[in-house]
Amino acid sequence: MLLLYSRNAPCVSAPARFSGDNAAPTVSCRAAQHAPLPGLEICQATATASLRAAASLRAAAFYTYPEGRSEIAQKAHQRLKADTAWQELEDKLAGALAGWQGIQVACCIATIRAEQDHEVVQALQATMDRSCQIPAEDNTSHPRIVIGSLDLNTGSQLPCEELQGSKPSGAAAQQGRSYLSNVCVASAARRHGVAAAMIQWACQYANLQGVQDLYVHVVTDNKAAQSLYCDTCGLDVEAMEEANLARALKRPRRLLLHRQVK
């Protein structure tokens, strides 16, 4: 199943199995702070190459290194983390990861064409590992760089997660509630509306799957993320993690944000 968002096409091209009567509603997100990236496409990742590239991006986006760490050591660590993230993602999608059985996971990726004379593309080529690229499928296509990714997890509660949504309630929660996770954008592509476009895609995809309510966890002092979710994409604070629990788990306190997708 594939949904496509493209800067050069209508916002959503629904898969053939969905009729026009089931087309997703428009989910508005405000404009990017900089010009949109040319040829930005957002779709569901299912192929091995796409999932591997998404995992490589996450390894680069979610880890920082102390000053003085050699480039060779950084790359070796990133590749190790990318391999781990790739296997975990494959297992989640297959329903084989411990604790994730019963949760439907869809991986979303944002890509741009690798062969472009554009300053952002040039910066991406200079700073990103080649494992973040998806090879051309044939002579009529072009290699693409994965510059953003997120997971849409449909189920009443994420594994080992105390802070859970309340809507919809009862038995409807298992199929009617989704959580965003692993939201990331390559550093050179930030502030161009990539994350907002992926969240818009996730809302539309969730709606087509019958989901009613979308949630995401965010650290209380991550103001940039809160601005993205609340100011740009229309989520509101539904709950805050207990301070004692956050201290016990030795992590920053978090908020649970919510919006309806129907």
What's the whole-model pTM score?
A: 0.88
Least confident interval from 15-24, 77-86, 212-221: 15-24
Question: So what's the pLDDT on residue 53?
Answer: 98
Q: What is the pLDDT of residues 97-127, one digit of tens each?
A: 999 999 999 999 999 999 888 999 999 999 9
Tell me, what amino acid is at 178?
S
Mean pLDDT, rounded, for 195-224: 97
Please report the domains of the chain, with CATH numbers, ordered by start residue: 4-13+35-155+174-212 (3.40.630)
Q: Considering the chain, what is the average pLDDT of its residues?
A: 88
Q: How far apart are CA 111 and CA 50, in angstroms?
A: 10
Q: Are strands 236-240 and 213-219 parallel, antiparallel or unpaired?
A: unpaired
Q: Is the pLDDT assigned to residue 214 strictly greater than 60?
A: yes
Least confident interval from 28-32, 61-65, 175-179, 211-215: 28-32
Q: What is the pLDDT of residues 28-58, one digit of tens each?
A: 455 456 778 999 999 999 999 999 999 999 9
Closest by CA position to 206, among listed 255, 249, 139, 258: 258
Question: So what's the pLDDT on residue 66?
Answer: 79
Report the b/e string of 26-60 with b at 16+ CB within 10 A: ebebeebeeeebebbbbbbbeeeebbbbbbbbbbb
Q: Is the pLDDT assigned to residue 59 strictly greater than 70?
A: yes
Question: So what's the pLDDT on residue 74?
Answer: 83
